[in-house]
């Protein structure tokens, strides 16, 4: 009788502990949350218009060449100096922008693969809950860094395209005159 009670206690304890290990829904939900964060980051990157970036870079180089026309006298060059510096700043900020966006996309893709592998390892019992928690923390930190880079890129895009549009609007008449001056000296 005593042996039978010990056996029942052992089976009950085994069942309870195995149920705790089997129930991984909470951990799977954590990976789904990280997947949703990745999806959000990709949506933010998709809102960055690489065509507009390329247009801004090309136009900026065109505008900088106009500021260097030999037909301009020193007074005109000094008068346009601040605008020239603004265009140089935009050119500098956007010169490697598409490369940075592509790099961030690759990093987000790698992180997505890591999260998928983490989820699969958890489902197939290759990881304990403790190991899963450690890897999850590492992925959260990596996603935090990627999020900071993504926000910085988005802010850089917004700031520089707004500044570019503002300069273009402000200097539209001047560029017409500079283009006419350039045509006369060609």
Closest-CA residue to 63 (of 183, 185, 167) = 167
Percent of the chain with pLDDT over 90: 40
Phi and psi (nearest 5°) for 70? -70, -25
Instruction: Choose the weakest-confidence range: 13-17, 88-92, 107-111, 112-116.
Output: 13-17
Range of 103's domain? Answer: 27-184
pTM of the predicted protein model? 0.75
Would the CA dihedral through 93, 99, 100, 102 be positive or negative? positive
Task: Check: CB of residue 109 under 8 Å from CB of residue 79.
Answer: no
> How many domains does the chain contain in total?
1
Q: Residue 27: its pLDDT value, please?
A: 83
3-state SS string over 25-53?
HHHHHHHHHHHHHHHHHHHHHHCCCHHHH
**Alpha-carbon distance 66 to 71, whole Å?**
10
Q: How big, in percent rounded to 5, are the helix, strand and coil portions of the chain?
A: 90, 0, 10
- With both helix axes pointing from N to C terminus, report the angle between 50-67 and 172-184 in degrees, rounded to the nearest 10: 60
How far is Cα 101 from Cα 109, in angstroms, rounded to an integer? 12
Q: Evaluate whether residue 146 is within a structural domain.
A: yes
- What does the mean pLDDT of the chain come to? 85
Residue 9, in any domain of the structure: no
d(CA 147, CA 70): 46
Residues 90-113: pLDDT tens digits?
999 999 998 999 999 999 999 999
84 — pLDDT class (breaks 50, 70, 90): very high
What is the arithmetic mean of pLDDT over 124-139?
A: 85
Q: Is residue 83 part of a domain?
A: yes
**Residue 21 located in a structural domain:** no
In a domain, 1, yes or no: no
Mean pLDDT of 133-145: 89
């Amino acid at each position: 009788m005593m042996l039978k009670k010990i056996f029942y206690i052992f089976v009950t304890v085994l069942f309870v502990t195995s149920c705790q290990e089997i129930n991984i829904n909470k951990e799977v939900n954590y990976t789904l949350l990280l997947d949703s964060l990745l999806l959000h980051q990709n949506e933010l990157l998709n809102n960055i218009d690489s065509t507009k970036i390329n247009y801004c870079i090309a136009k900026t180089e065109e505008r900088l060449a106009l500021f260097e026309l030999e037909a301009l006298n020193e007074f005109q060059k000094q008068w346009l100096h601040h605008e020239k510096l603004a265009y140089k700043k935009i050119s500098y900020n956007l010169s490697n922008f598409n490369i940075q966006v592509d790099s961030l996309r690759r990093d987000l893709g790698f992180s997505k693969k890591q999260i998928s592998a983490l989820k699969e390892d958890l489902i197939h019992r290759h990881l304990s809950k403790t190991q899963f928690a450690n890897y999850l923390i590492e992925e959260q930190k990596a996603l935090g860094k990627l999020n900071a880079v993504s926000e910085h890129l988005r802010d850089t895009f917004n700031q520089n395209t707004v500044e570019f549009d503002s300069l273009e609007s402000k200097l539209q008449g001047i560029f017409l005159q500079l283009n006419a001056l350039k045509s006369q000296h060609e």
